[in-house]
Amino acid sequence: MQHDRALARVDLSAVRHNAALLKERLGQGRVLCAIVKADGYGHGATWCARAAVAGGAAWLGVATAGEAVELRRHGFTERLLVMGALNNEELDVTFEEELDIVVWRRPFLEMVAEKAERLEREARVHVKLDTGMGRLGTRDADDAIELVELTDAAAALSFTGLMTHFATADEEDSEFFDEQLRRFRPVAERVKRIFPRCLVHAANSAAVLRSPDAHFDMARCGIALYGLDPFHDDAVARGLRPALTLESYVADVKALRAGDSVGYGRTWTAPGETSIAVVPIGYGDGYRRALSNNADVIVNGRRHPVVGTISMDNVTVELGPDTQVSVGDRVTLIGEDGDERVRAEELAQRIGTINYEIACGIAPRVRRLYHRAPEMEEQ
């Protein structure tokens, strides 16, 4: 039987479902921008973008100009928002591909205006106010208003949106989320009075699910789109459907005696007679080394512990002394098998990180297999 040593299955019906759920939560008249940066959080940007659009997303968001180019090359004509910083070369790309860009400093805005005039192109500009994230964006509300006015006054620029980003939307008891809203709302209301057709946007996935007060005109949703919980708990309980399953197979089954060890450093020794499965996937595929002796996988519908140090290309799993597991059996490292489920959130909690990093860390050498949504069959 032919097996993939490492396979990531991506359920595009789940992505479409999650986009539709987020769009419904936003309500009538509000726009969903599907964030597909970092290759769709490791799921595959172009496939997931197509599923998100089928689910109601009207905009797509990325971090870099290169990511936007890749989407354009695959035929996407939706509005594309590049949220990251741009150098001079990347700025040229934004004009070629008709991308929306973000500004927060006057010198950069002036460079955009000069380049737009010289190229006889229009630049669509979103002004970013830093209300507490502490990264990109101007912290001064008056500066933000001035940038809006300068954008509107420039013949080759089109003021399109005002935005901010939440630092603690995923912390449900955080008061700082409300503080950021208090800082942003008066600026947004002032800008809306002058430019009623501009898009005000602030909400990420967590903010959409947390509070309608943060919805404004558009929301930029990433993690929930892929069925991962923005609150780092259980996405299924929120009506989301995880899109990703990470699989391998049993390459060998070995009997061990008490005291036998497996893996580098002999970090685990058999307490008695038992068996292990050797699974040909490892940290070279993105299954984190920190999960050594610290995770479960599912084989034939049953959980089994990862034992020994995870190596670049192999994981060892204890099966017990009387196992029915055979070479060739499927191993689920993330996903469901029977009544058991291993969530990305579970793995993240075990090693002190977040589900974003678990998904984004799946390496390119892991083959992706896409299961299409029915409405995508003719695309």
Rounded Cα–Cα distance for residues 128 and 101 (Å): 10
Please say if 37 is a catalytic residue.
Answer: yes
Which element (helix H / strand E) includes 161? strand 157-163
Contact between 278 and 252 (Cβ < 8 Å): yes
d(CA 284, CA 324): 29
Our answer to whether residue 41 is catalytic in this structure is no
Q: What is the DSSP string of 101-141?
A: EEE--HHHHHHHHHHHHHHT--EEEEEEB-SSS-SSSBS-H
> Would strands 302-307 and 315-318 be described as parallel, antiparallel, or unpaired?
antiparallel
The CA-CA-CA angle for residues 70, 38, 348, to 5°, reads: 160
Task: Name the active-site residue from 23, 37, 41, 356.
Answer: 37
Calpha distance 46→83 (Å, rounded): 18
Cα angle value 211/212/214 (rounded, 5°): 75
Q: Phi first, then psi: what are they for 99, rounded to 5°?
A: -100, 150
* C-alpha closest to that of 252 among 284, 218, 279, 228: 279
Catalytic residues, by residue number, are 37, 264
